[in-house]
Amino acid sequence: MDKDLKNKTISQLQEIIIAFGGKAYQGPVAFNFIHQKFARSLDEFTTLKKDLRASLVSGGYFLSNLKVAEKLCDPDGTEKYLFTLSDGNNIETVLLRESDRNTICISCQVGCKLGCKFCATGFLKFQRDLTAGEIVDQVIKIAADAGKINNIVFMGMGEPMYNYDNCLKAVWILTDPKGLNIGIRKQTISTCGLPDGIRALAEEDIYPRLAVSLHAASDTLRKKLMPIASKHPMAELVSAMRYYQQKTSRRITIEYCMIKCLNDSLSDAQALAALLRPLRANVNLIEYNPHPGCDFQGSSSRAIKAFKDTLMQSGVETIVRYRRGRNIKAACGQLGADRIKK
Ligand code: SF4
């Protein structure tokens, strides 16, 4: 049975506290200690009676804590945290500071099963899913260190749709006004395109933003970059995205990594524009970031601009996400790159 209180919603905390003789109102109090006051142990729940805290501890309840094993700072302002989990596994989380907001890119698994060719994490062996508490704790630890977090993107290590329940639970916990209170429109779930997960998300009572990593406009090319494309053809993926939009009326972000002489021609851009025509989608063009084990090269600035212009002329809103955090291997596709050789 899971006894980590960081892994609980307010109503779950309430149930536990009532079961130990406490009052219902103490559930939100405990939640507030964990998610706003960043308590590290039950000893810090100072407004809960000592004997209630003691009986929770003797009942096996505890607060898990990620340990900051390393923090790297890029001169461009990006920071990367290497966290150690209670079982000794490591994950990476990135903080992107901008003048008016802090965004963090969080991980949801240790390693990844999907093996996308342009992504360092895909070269690491999959170890396990993170709990909702471990997902949320990345935000807590960085908020405690760096101040208010405004945006969260589930774009770190792992595929959120393969750890669906824990990611959704984390979204609920992060959204709660008695906790970190991060608005649902400020949270983005990014998937490599798992149609079942996209359809499931459309049925939820809460809609984080959805980003889909596409990286190619044809099945043939996509299969070269992302093994998952062999299992889920483009037509199935587009159909799931359409379903999501019919249910939620939400715009979808398409992530597209620009790789030299592979997916960056004008005909690729035209094919992408045609593919997205039935959707309300905007495109983020990402400069390919190198890592060991992969000999792709990033597209030239000129190719990226021409690609963007073609999409824009076709009516597809497009932005270029310039590399950030590359010096500390914190840019898109680089998480875990330091551990590939090991
Ligand atoms: Fe996994 Fe995402 Fe990397 Fe693909 S891009 S290997 S899904 S972490």
Q: Does the CA dihedral 142-146-148-149 come out positive or negative?
A: negative
Atom of ligand 1 nearest to the CA of 115: 6
Domains, the chain, in order of start with CATH, read 5-58 (1.10.150.530), 67-339 (3.20.20.70)
Residue of 116, 194, 340 to test ligand 1 pocket, by largest number of atoms within 8 Å of CB = 116
Encode pLDDT of 247-299 as tens digits: 999 999 999 999 999 999 999 999 999 999 999 999 999 998 888 778 899 99
Q: How far is the CA of 265 from the centre of ligand 1 (A)?
A: 23
* Distance between CA atoms of residues 173 and 121, nearest Å: 26
Q: Is the pTM of this model over 0.85?
A: yes
Q: How far is the CA of 12 from the centre of ligand 1 (A)?
A: 32
Q: How far is the CA of 257 from the centre of ligand 1 (A)?
A: 12
Q: Is 120 within 8 Å of 291 (Cβ atoms)?
A: yes
pLDDT at 302: 96
* Distance between CA atoms of residues 76 and 73, nearest Å: 8
Atom of ligand 1 nearest to the CA of 156: 8
* Distance between CA atoms of residues 197 and 190, nearest Å: 11
Name the residue at shortest CA distance from atom 6 of ligand 1.
Answer: 122
Active-site positions read 92, 332
Report the greatest alpha carbon distance in the chain. Answer: 69
How many residues are listed for the chain in this entry?
Answer: 342
* Residue 88 DSSP symbol: S
Per-residue confidence band for 340, with pLDDT thresholds at 50, 70 and 90: low
- The contacts of residue 1 (CB under 8 Å, 6+ apart) are none
Q: How far is the CA of 119 from the centre of ligand 1 (A)?
A: 6
* Distance between CA atoms of residues 334 and 287, nearest Å: 12
Inter-CA distances, 91 with 66, 117, 158, 232, 328, Å:
10, 20, 10, 28, 15
Q: How many other CB atoms sit within 10 Å of the CB of residue 225? A: 21
* Distance between CA atoms of residues 150 and 143, nearest Å: 10
Atom of ligand 1 nearest to the CA of 120: 3
Task: Work out the average pLDDT over 148-154.
Answer: 97
Query: What single-letter amino acid sits at 8?
Result: K
Name the residue at shortest CA distance from atom 4 of ligand 1.
Answer: 116
Residues with C-beta less than 6 Å from any ligand 1 atom: 112, 114-116, 119, 121-122, 157-159, 192, 213
Per-residue confidence band for 338, with pLDDT thresholds at 50, 70 and 90: confident
Q: φ, ψ for residue 80 (rounded to 5)?
A: -120, 130
